[in-house]
Structure 1
Amino acid sequence: MPYHKKRFLSYTFLRTVKYHIFQDPLSTHICWYLYYFPMILIPTLGLNASFLLEEEHDKVKKRSIFLLFSAMLLIISVFTNDLHQQVFHFYLNPPYSDKNYSYGFLFFVIQGWIIFCLIAMDIILIHKSKISGKKRFWLPVIPGIILLAWNIANILRVPMISTIAGDLTAICCLCIAAIFQSCILCGLIPTNSRYFELFQSNGSLDAEITDNTFHRYYYSGNFPKLTEELRECVIANSSIQENGVLIKHIPVKGGHLFWTEDISVLLDQYQDIEEQQEELTERNQLLQMTYQKEAARKKLEEQNRLLNMIQDQTYKQYELLSSYMKKLEQTESREEYDMLLSKIVVVGTYLKRRKNLVLTRYSSQGDSLTMADLKQSLAESCENLKLCRIRAAYYVQDKEKQLQADDILNCYDFFEWLIEQLFDVINSVFFRVTQIDEKLQISVHVMSSTDIHNFLKERPELLIQQEEEQEWFIRCPLS
């Protein structure tokens, strides 16, 4: 119910109490004063409400305090009139009655305050109104002029006023209610009315509002007619998709709000995306199979390349093994047979370790091997030399250092070449690999009762020295 209508009912209630319930002069006197409580507050609160339209909070707060403080002073002056009689002046002795009185100075102040608040409210509302076409804004002025004219005539005690409209309560309520109702009709006071027109004006949304029994009250657009079962499904799931239309729901006070969204375009796009995804998946699988076959082919080519390279680098050892096998088939001596088998094991060990070094080289990051790789190869070869009755030992410095792979392979190749040349003439060998000035140095001590120069003349760059009667020193420079 609008605010001014509630105040109108308060007027009517006080008037009814005064004339039909209370009979003693004091009670009717108090009810008469109570008339001015809503009479002063309604215009004051109306003016305060007009300030709330697009005003800063701090300014509105200060103005509200001033208005309410002024209104309360006027209300207090009315309720204390019996003490000072500046609002109404009584001619008889107490208890005072409203049948014989005149108006005091504060009465005219109260009437001026009421008229000021109503006029200021109209001016502010008109000034702040955003409604185009202000032809009807003069409408609230008419009841205001009537109220002003009636007050003046009532103060002058015009006889016709008391005959035609002498009821203060009814006239004030009627004029103030007319002022507020006129502001509502003109659009100066925004109200939540014309729900159906406002709901229909939103043509971009297909929606409807129903009560709890699904009886339609408001709708907009072309909202489809839904069965009760379908509505129950929508309420249970919050949304449901039906023939390319998404139906959604939210509960509202006293009912339900349903609206639709056309998602047919999105569904078509989603279907296109799914088809493209399937096509891309098939293409990806085909590319993956092609890549796997290409990777397998390249791996096989790389393996063949490494195998050919290893064979090219160790073809002498394969020839040596072939000659040992022929001698093994022709020999009849058990001792020579065992010695040939031992040599085959030593050469076979070299071939195996040489292949491992090459594979490690090409599978590692960068073209490098470590001293540890060389040490493992020398350890296995030295262990197998025991089968040939040759005591072998080695020393490798800084085994974790990364070196060029060619240097490591050259060290191991030289060790194998030296052993193959001196198989039959040495008793022991001590192989050393050290680093001097960031360069690899190979030095070998062998024990042999035979001059080894003739066996090693294939490598003239070697430094060969006899240190004692059966001890030889060999140094191999590495580039």
Structure 2
Amino acid sequence: MQTALRKLRAYSAPALLLSAFIIWLFLRRFFGSYLWFFGPSPGLVYDVYLIFVLLGWSFFRVSNIVQRWTRYLLLGVAALMLLWMILRIVKWHYVEDTTIIRYLWYAYYFPICLMPALSVVCAVSINKPMAWHPTWQHGVLLGVGVLLSFGVFANDAHQLMFCFSNSAFWNRHGYTYGPLRYIVLAFIIACAVATIAIIIRRSHVPYSRNWLVALLIPLVMGIIYGILYQLRDYLDMTGFYCLLVMFEYECLMSAGLIRTNSNYQELFEASSIQAALLDEEGQMLAASKNAPITWEQSAYIGKSVHSIPVSGGSFCWVEDNSLEYEARRQLEEQNTELMEDAELAQARVDIRRRRAELDVRAKLFSRIKHDCGDKFNLIHHLVDEGEVLVDRRPELLAQLCVVGCYIKRRCNLIIIEGQHSQASTRELFWCLRESCDHLSEAGRRATVLNSGEAEASLQKLELAYDFFEELVEWAYPTLSALLVNLAVEADCLVLNLQLECVEDAFAAEGIVRTRRQAERLGAKVQTQLDGHSWCVVLTMPLGRCL
């Protein structure tokens, strides 16, 4: 029953238009004699009636077409039909001048030539995507129709459409047809055949042997009426074919080939959402197929009921959020797992970082212990000696500061070497300068000079500083003055030391060991004794150590 009602509602518009068509036929055929009160021209009533039907169809049906170009083209067809009816009313009922009548007759051919061309383009646009638009071939077709229309309108100049006799320029039977008439007739027939062929093709149901028979009924009626028009003179070709065109396109709309903003009730009933339209008292007016019977009991976990006020009642629907809740729960679980994994990963990274830091510190500590172990022993010896020899404490404390300065600066070079393999010779200059400052505070005149700067291996800078420290410790008991000159000459580092002391043997164990290390790295050590003055020159290349 519901299926039958839906089908009846789907074809309500074609049925209404067919009723208007039948009313027009009855007015035209049987009730013409009863319309005497409209004056001597009862045909005016038929034409006005057709105009109102055409306007109503255009405003209430054509304007609701969804596809933009189909709507534009069909509105163009309706406008041409309206122009045709107005021209006919003016020609037959309001004008008596033969010249004006003749030009109104010529103007008939504007809708007669353009309507078939527009019908072809409109038929092509049926069931096309929303982005479809006419091509240049369609523009050429419309241009041909316009040229033919203007050719007919200029018939007085060439008489290629209608050839009038000299005795009667305007007479119903006083003319013959020219070659342009057959061209226009061929154009109209070709466009009509193309339109019919396209509509017949569209009426076939895809992937089946079925046809939409309702679309073929207006075509058959048009062919039969065309045959009868040739046999009976009193038939109205203009009004009939205008109604027939409207009926054909209305059938296309009802069949769904031309999509319109209609049948929303069927769409609402067939919708998969749980929704209903209620009146002000809460009674259900319309509902989807799976709408709940009792709205108060339709809400449970994962679902929620919503309602908005509308004119005359309210619109209610059930929103199924179960999938969303389940997805959210799974996302929360995954988020918790990911956070735990991230915390574990961060803990592993922290452990590795701390382990790496400890490894670096252990390596630095091992390196410092290896390179400065004898200096730490010397500090312990000086401290122990200072506890025993109280009178020598100031002297021992000064020597302790000199050794401590060396350890500090030597550890700084080791830390820098852990980051870079090379450094500027200025780092060695600052080490020598601070050691000389502490020597000066200990009562030994010490001066350091610097000339030139270059990049050198940190291993060689450390070796040069070790050599300097061994010389200072060797000569410290009798050292009175020290002059240090650090220079860069010909890609070599030159450390020149002038020592004033009473030491007469250049054979201390630390000096010998450091000298051998320097010579293994390509350095040269030159010594010269002049009285109580020693001149020691250390020369080594600046290249990187392997």
**How many residues get paired?**
420
User: Which residue, out of 144, 152, 164, partners 1:86?
Assistant: 164
Q: Cα deviations across residues 270-293 of structure 1 (Å, max 9, x unaligned)?
A: 442333223212221232234324
Q: Render the CA deviation track for 1:201-223: whole Å, top value 9, x for unaligned.
A: 9978759999xx9xx99998768
> What's the secondary structure of 1:349's corresponding residue?
helix
Match for residue 321 of structure 1 among 379, 399, 403 = 379
TM-superposed deviation, 1:124: 0.6
Which amino acid counterpart does residue 152 of structure 2 have in structure 1? L
SS in 2 for 1:425: coil
1:58 to 115, 133, 136: 136
Q: 1:24-103, aligned counterparts within 5 Å?
A: 27=96, 36=105, 39-52=108-121, 53-54=123-124, 57-75=135-153, 77=155, 86=164, 102-103=172-173
Cα distance in 2 for partners of 1:323, 1:430 equals 28
Aligned pair in 2 of structure 1 residues 430, 399: CA closer, same or farther (>3 Å)? Answer: same
CA distance in 1, matches of 2:511, 2:86: 136
RCO comparison, higher one (Cα < 8 Å, 6+):
2
The equivalent position to 1:465 in structure 2, one of 504, 524, 528, is 528
- Cα distance in 2 for partners of 1:476, 1:15 equals 125
1:141-183 residue CA offsets vs partner (Å, 9 max, x unmatched): 54345345435654xxxxxxxxxx3xx6xx2234323542464
1:67-466 to 2 correspondence within 5 Å? Answer: 67-75=145-153, 77=155, 86=164, 102-106=172-176, 116=186, 119-129=189-199, 130-132=202-204, 133=211, 137=216, 139-140=218-219, 142-147=221-226, 149-151=228-230, 153-154=232-233, 165=234, 171-177=236-242, 179-181=244-246, 183-184=248-249, 187=252, 191=258, 195-196=262-263, 200=267, 265=323, 268-331=326-389, 333=391, 336-362=392-418, 364=419, 366-401=420-455, 403-435=456-488, 438-453=491-506, 459=512, 463-466=526-529
Shift of 1:455: 5.3
Contact 1:86 1:104 in 2 (8 A): yes
| TM-score, with length taken from structure 1 | 0.67
Residue identity opposite 1:427 in structure 2: S
The residue type equivalent to 1:143 in the other structure is G
Equivalent pair of 2:116/2:188 in contact (CA under 8 Å) = yes
Q: Matches of 1:152 and 1:89 in 2, distance apart?
A: 30
User: For 1:15 and 1:219, how far apart are their aligned partners in 2?
Assistant: 49
Q: Which moved more, 1:179-188 or 1:37-46?
A: 179-188
Cα pair distance change 1:177/1:449, threshold 3 Å: closer
Output the amino acid matched with 1:71: S
**CA-atom RMSD, angstroms?**
5.2
CA distance in 1, matches of 2:167, 2:227: 22
Q: Name whichever of 43-52 and 218-227 sits farther off.
A: 218-227
Once the 2 structures are TM-superposed, how far is the Cα of residue 126 of structure 1 from its aligned partner?
2.6
Which runs of no fewer than 5 residues in structure 2 stay unpaired? Answer: 1-56, 59-76, 126-133, 205-210, 296-300, 309-314, 517-524, 542-546
Q: Contact 1:375–1:399 at 8 Å: present in 2 too?
A: no
* Worse-matched range after superposition: 310-319 or 392-401: 392-401
Question: When the two structures are superposed, what TM-score results if normalisation uses the length of structure 2?
Answer: 0.60
Shift of residue 389, structure 1, vs aligned partner: 2.3
Contact 1:357 1:409 in 2 (8 A): yes
Asked whether the 8 Å contact 1:441–1:478 carries over to 2, the reply is yes
Gaps of 5+ in 1: 155-164, 228-241, 250-256
1:474 counterpart residue number: 536
Q: Secondary structure at the match of 1:103?
A: coil
Question: CA separation of 1:111/1:183 partners in 2, compared to 1, >3 Å: closer, same or farther?
Answer: farther
* Percent pairwise identity: 15
CA distance in 2, matches of 1:410, 1:277: 57
Alpha-carbon separation, structure 2, partners of 1:8 and 1:191: 22
Preserved CA contact (<8 Å) 1:33 1:79:
no
| 8 A Cα contact 2:116 2:191, kept in partner | yes
Taking the aligned partners of 1:6 and 1:144, their CA distance within structure 2 comes to 22
Counterpart CA distance in 1 for 2:104 and 2:285 is 41
Distance 1:78 1:477 in 2: 120
Q: How many angstroms apart in 2 are the aligned matches of 1:407 and 1:106? A: 122
What SS is found at the alignment partner of 1:175?
Answer: helix
